[in-house]
Amino acid sequence: MTVGSDAALRLQAGAVEAFAERGFHATTTRDIAGRAGMSPAALYIHYKTKEELLFQISQVGHERSVRILEESTEATGSGVRHAERLDRAVRAFVRWHAEHHTTARVVQYELAALGEEHYARIVSLRRRSEEILRGVLEDGVASGEFHIEDIRGTTLAVMSLCIDVARWFSPEGRKTPDEIGSLYADLVLRMVGNGGHP
């Protein structure tokens, strides 16, 4: 999920841990550098500011989200049902937010700390994720597979359901990321009037 040199990767990993534990504003550059096993001055070799580091983490995470949704909703062949596309999308999106729950918490819930330009870039990536999902719902309604009165509202509900897994998921919990993905896919298919059957 991270990109860059070994030192930059260590700083990103340290920042994810610190931001997830303490929040962006309560985290110091010393906290981040300490977790990366580096001096506080080392952070500024790779990132101009703590906010730029958060942006890098957020951008990589949101780009990954877009890629997951694009790949899972791709319609291959003429016989693919839109319920199958939606099922794949929800399973993959939930699984990523569970498997990478610490990173996903930072990516999804620390946006307010970004500067205006960086915030705009992340919002555009979030909108792209919503567009992909909304497109599947629109296709399903057009084909008669889905019965949705408010596509935009349903899109936001599905996105929120999937993303929120990062807030509460624990590896020590009773369900695996795959099991949660399966449960949520079933719930979403019922939500769109497909009876939980892809």
pLDDT in the model for residue 40: 83
% of the chain exceeding 90 in pLDDT: 77
Tell me whether residue 22 is in a domain.
no
Tell me whether residue 42 is in a domain.
no
The rounded mean pLDDT for the chain is 91
Number of domains comprising the chain: 1
Q: What is the pLDDT of residues 101-132, one digit of tens each?
A: 999 999 999 999 999 999 999 999 999 999 99
% of the chain exceeding 70 in pLDDT: 93
- What is the C-alpha separation between 148 and 56, in angstroms, rounded? 36
Q: Is the pLDDT of residue 79 over 90?
A: no
pLDDT in the model for residue 1: 42
pLDDT in the model for residue 2: 41
Q: What mean pLDDT do residues 57-82 have? A: 88
Tell me whether residue 147 is in a domain.
yes
Tell me whether residue 53 is in a domain.
yes
Tell me whether residue 21 is in a domain.
no
Tell me whether residue 177 is in a domain.
yes
Q: What mean pLDDT do residues 84-94 have? A: 96
183 or 47, higher pLDDT: 183
Tell me whether residue 122 is in a domain.
yes
- What is the C-alpha separation between 185 and 94, in angstroms, rounded? 9
Note down the domain range covering 77.
49-191
Tell me whether residue 164 is in a domain.
yes
Q: What is the pLDDT of residues 127-175, one digit of tens each?
A: 999 999 999 999 999 999 999 999 999 999 999 999 999 999 999 989 9
Tell me, what CATH number does 144's domain have? 1.10.357.10
- What is the C-alpha separation between 192 and 194, in angstroms, rounded? 6
Q: What is the pLDDT of residues 21-36, one digit of tens each?
A: 999 999 999 999 999 8
Burial of 37 (0-12, 13-18, 19+ CB in 10 A): exposed
Query: What's this model's pTM, rounded to 2 decimal places?
Result: 0.87
Q: Is the pLDDT of residue 93 over 50?
A: yes
- What is the C-alpha separation between 26 and 98, in angstroms, rounded? 25
Q: Which of 137, 4, 121 is nearest to 69 (CA)?
A: 137
